[in-house]
Amino acid sequence: MEHLKNLDEIVGTVCREMQAHLGHGRVADYIPALAKIDPRHFGIAIAIQPEREAEEVAIFAAGDAEVPFSVQSISKVFTLTMALEKLGGALWKRVGKEPSGSPFNSIVQLENERGIPRNPLINAGALVVTDALLAGGDPAQLIAGILDFIRGLAHDPAVTIDPEVATSEGDTGFRNASLANFLRAFGNIENNIQDVLEVYFHQCALRMNCRQLARAGLYLAHGGVDPGSAARVTSVQRTRRINALMMTCGHYDASGDFAFRVGLSGKSGVGGGILAIAPRRASIAVWSPGLNAWGNSHVGVLALEKLSSLAGWSVF
């Protein structure tokens, strides 16, 4: 139990040390509903896999770990998991596995690469993933299915979708609409574009707190099995691959910097959240809404850098 006491101290230390940095960075204002969030929030939660089967998942949290926020692009990890379960390896015919080195909503690369997005964690790739999940179905049903999947992983029916954020994105999402149209021109979107965008905006508008998010990501630290229910979410091999993509592509064009500083796989969102995975140990969620120049949480990255050094967690 010594290491558990230690984690309690570590989240406390990280939270205390981050206070001096709060307020740096800019909240994402291109989605009006996100522009009004106070950048001075900070929350952290670590969900650890139990050492023995009968033990419960333990969660260590500090700061604003109970305050819900918009998970935005972190949702891409969960829809990718769903799409791989549905389509298997066929998905890789439609989307690549390479870091983009470009901003999350970049359009130029798509032209050169003839409508095959670099990876599933940038917007273009995530739109293709959503299209693959939709496959002629009803958008409302798919939105409900995504919500259900994440509630199940978080073991919490209180996870919701924020309709105001979804509408706000719909009203201003001209760039995502352009990406979807461009993909469609190359034949890499098969459903009605409005339907794909509706699902995409709703998945990005998922509202979770750090505790729920850390708990939901635990299967990625645990070989694809949710340790709470022992249910297999995805295979060991897919879990490794999702983690590899998070490591190489999870922080837009600052993915190398994140790997260098933190040494864990991770996915950020413009709501200021980051989900990070320490394989065979823990799933970690941090949240602080002020973003750095690459659209990643300024304090979130600092906090994970501190945490990985204090806990000695790195995949290298």
Which residues does the annotation mark as catalytic?
73, 76, 200, 252, 270
Closest distance between ligand GLU and the C-beta of residue 218, in Å? 22
Among 110, 204, 221, 307, binds ligand GLU (CB under 6 A): 204
- Alpha-carbon separation of residue 190 from 131, 139, 178, 196, 274 (angstroms): 7, 13, 15, 9, 31
Tokens in use for 204?
Answer: 């990005």
Ranges within 220-259 binding ligand GLU (CB under 6 A): none
Ranges within 58-97 binding ligand GLU (CB under 6 A): 72-73
Among 105, 167, 192, 235, binds ligand GLU (CB under 6 A): 105
**If we measure between CA atoms, which residue out of 211, 185, 181, 207 comes closest to residue 196?**
181
- C-beta separation of 273 from 74 below 8 A: yes
> What is d(CA 91, CA 76) in angstroms, rounded to the nearest whole number?
14
- Classify residue 57 by its DSSP letter: P
- Is 37 a binding residue for ligand GLU by CB under 6 A? The answer is no
Closest distance between ligand GLU and the C-beta of residue 204, in Å? 3
Nearer to ligand GLU, 17 or 257 (CB): 257
Nearer to ligand GLU, 73 or 283 (CB): 73
For residue 92, how many C-alpha atoms fall within 13 Å in the half-sphere facing its CB? Answer: 8
The phi, psi pair for 208, rounded to 5°, reads: -140, 160
Closest distance between ligand GLU and the C-beta of residue 221, in Å? 22
Site track 145-174 with ligand GLU (rule: CB under 6 A), x = hit: ------------------------x-----
- Is 178 a binding residue for ligand GLU by CB under 6 A? The answer is no
Ranges within 256-285 binding ligand GLU (CB under 6 A): 269-270
- Is 198 a binding residue for ligand GLU by CB under 6 A? The answer is no
Nearer to ligand GLU, 74 or 132 (CB): 74
- Is 210 a binding residue for ligand GLU by CB under 6 A? The answer is no
Among 60, 69, 78, 104, binds ligand GLU (CB under 6 A): 104
167-199: burial string, b at 16+ Cβ within 10 Å, e else: ebbbeebeebeebbebbbeeebbebebebbbbb
Nearer to ligand GLU, 169 or 195 (CB): 169
| Phi-psi region at 214: left, alpha or beta (left = phi > 0; alpha = psi -120 to 50) | alpha
**Burial category of 21 from C-beta neighbours within 10 Å (exposed 0-12, middle 13-18, buried 19 and up):** middle
- Is 313 a binding residue for ligand GLU by CB under 6 A? The answer is no
Closest distance between ligand GLU and the C-beta of residue 231, in Å? 28
Q: Beta-carbon neighbour count of residue 297 at 10 Å?
A: 27
> What is d(CA 212, CA 296) in angstroms, rounded to the nearest whole number?
20
- Is 123 a binding residue for ligand GLU by CB under 6 A? The answer is yes
Closest distance between ligand GLU and the C-beta of residue 110, in Å? 15
Closest distance between ligand GLU and the C-beta of residue 50, in Å? 31
Question: At 204, which amino acid appears?
Answer: C
Closest distance between ligand GLU and the C-beta of residue 3, in Å? 33
> What is d(CA 308, CA 299) in angstroms, rounded to the nearest whole number?
14
Nearer to ligand GLU, 176 or 209 (CB): 176
- C-beta separation of 146 from 205 below 8 A: no
What residue ranges bind ligand GLU (CB under 6 A)? Answer: 72-73, 104-105, 123, 169, 176, 204, 269-270
